[in-house]
Amino acid sequence: MAFGGGGFSMERGNTLLDDYVLSLTRKERPRVCFLPTASGDADHYIVRFYRAFDAARCEPSHISLFRREQSAGDMHEQLLGSDLIYVGGGSVISLLGTWRAHGLDTTLRRAWERGVVLCGLSAGSLCWFAEAVTAFHGPAEAIEGIGLLPWSNCVHYDAEPERCRTYRDLLAGGMVEGYAVEDGAALHFEGERLTRVVSSRPGARAYRMRWTGDRLSRRPLPADYLGVAPAVVRAA
């Protein structure tokens, strides 16, 4: 599940996307492991995760790569034994550098092959793709993710115009085709195939993005709003 932006990190009081990823595990009390690497393992972020994923509905844990003393046991086993791995936002470049240094990229691929549900927002979405657009320091630029999904990805598509322009230019310059995702929308893949687009906000959208040789093809993808549709819409 690749969120454009949303979940407990960005949508206070709106649990729709987080509830949805929990349901994908098909477990009554799934083991959920949070990876806050992209934030530098920020304490406040870890606390917010435990508040959102409380022990009543799942078995939450996290892995800190900056404060190893906080994490007991073998982190690779911990990841492989999870039902859901949830990757937080921040800098995707810092995220990938740190993961590679600890060999987590390999472990996450193994987890994926075993059927562990992988999800994340922002940097935690970009990381799963072959290529992605980041706009962390200075101008937006292309990065290579861990490549479980052989597409490109651009998050916060509605919120950051600079990214939209850069994504278009990168696609024109040969970046592999992919998906632009707005805040509140999320892509649900099974294997490499997109099976559903869901949203935590009515109207939040995702787009299939492709360069056709002379122009950009931007196809809106129908998104299923996960909440109860507003009454006015139903009446209409």
Partner 1 sequence: MGGGGFASPPGDPSLDRYVLDVARVPHPRICLLPTAGGDAEDQIRRFYAAYRHLPCEPTHLSLFRLGAEPVEVASVLLGQDVLYVGGGSMLNLLAVWRAHGVDAILREAWERGIVLCGISAGSMCWFEAGVTTSFGAPRPVPGLGLLPGSNSVHYHGEPARRPCFHEAIRTEAVPPGWGVDDGAGLLFAGRELAEVASARRDAGAYWVEERAGAAVETALGARELPRREELEPPTPLSIAEWRETRMRRR
41 touches partner 1 by CB under 8 A? yes
SS3 100: helix
Smallest distance, partner 1 to C-beta of residue 50, A: 18
100 touches partner 1 by CB under 8 A? yes
Smallest distance, partner 1 to C-beta of residue 137, A: 5
Residue 44 or 219: which CB sits closer to partner 1? 44
Q: Is 76 labeled as catalytic in the residue annotation?
A: no
DSSP H helices in the chain: 16-24, 43-52, 75-80, 92-102, 104-113, 123-126, 161-172, 231-235
Q: Which one of the listed residues 9, 39, 82, 122 is annotated catalytic?
A: 122
* Dihedral angle sign, alpha carbons of residues 163, 170, 7, 17: positive
Maximal C-alpha separation, the chain: 57
- Please select the residue that binds partner 1; options are 98, 107, 166, 200, rule is CB under 8 A: 98
38 touches partner 1 by CB under 8 A? yes
Q: What's the rounded Cα separation, in Å, for the pair 155 and 157? A: 5
Q: Is 122 labeled as catalytic in the residue annotation?
A: yes
Smallest distance, partner 1 to C-beta of residue 58, A: 25
Site string for partner 1, 130-159 (x = CB under 8 A): -----xxxxx--------------------
E strands in 122-184: 129-134, 141-144, 149-154, 178-181
Considering only 39-47, 165-173, 204-212, 224-232, which stretch makes contact with partner 1 by CB under 8 A?
Answer: 39-47
77 touches partner 1 by CB under 8 A? no
3-state helix vs strand vs coil in the chain, percent to 5: 30, 30, 40
Smallest distance, partner 1 to C-beta of residue 95, A: 9
Tokens of 215: 């122009």
SS3 82: coil
For partner 1, how many residues bind (rule: CB under 8 A)? Answer: 25
Residue ranges binding partner 1 (CB under 8 A): 38-43, 65-68, 90-91, 93-94, 96-98, 100-102, 135-139
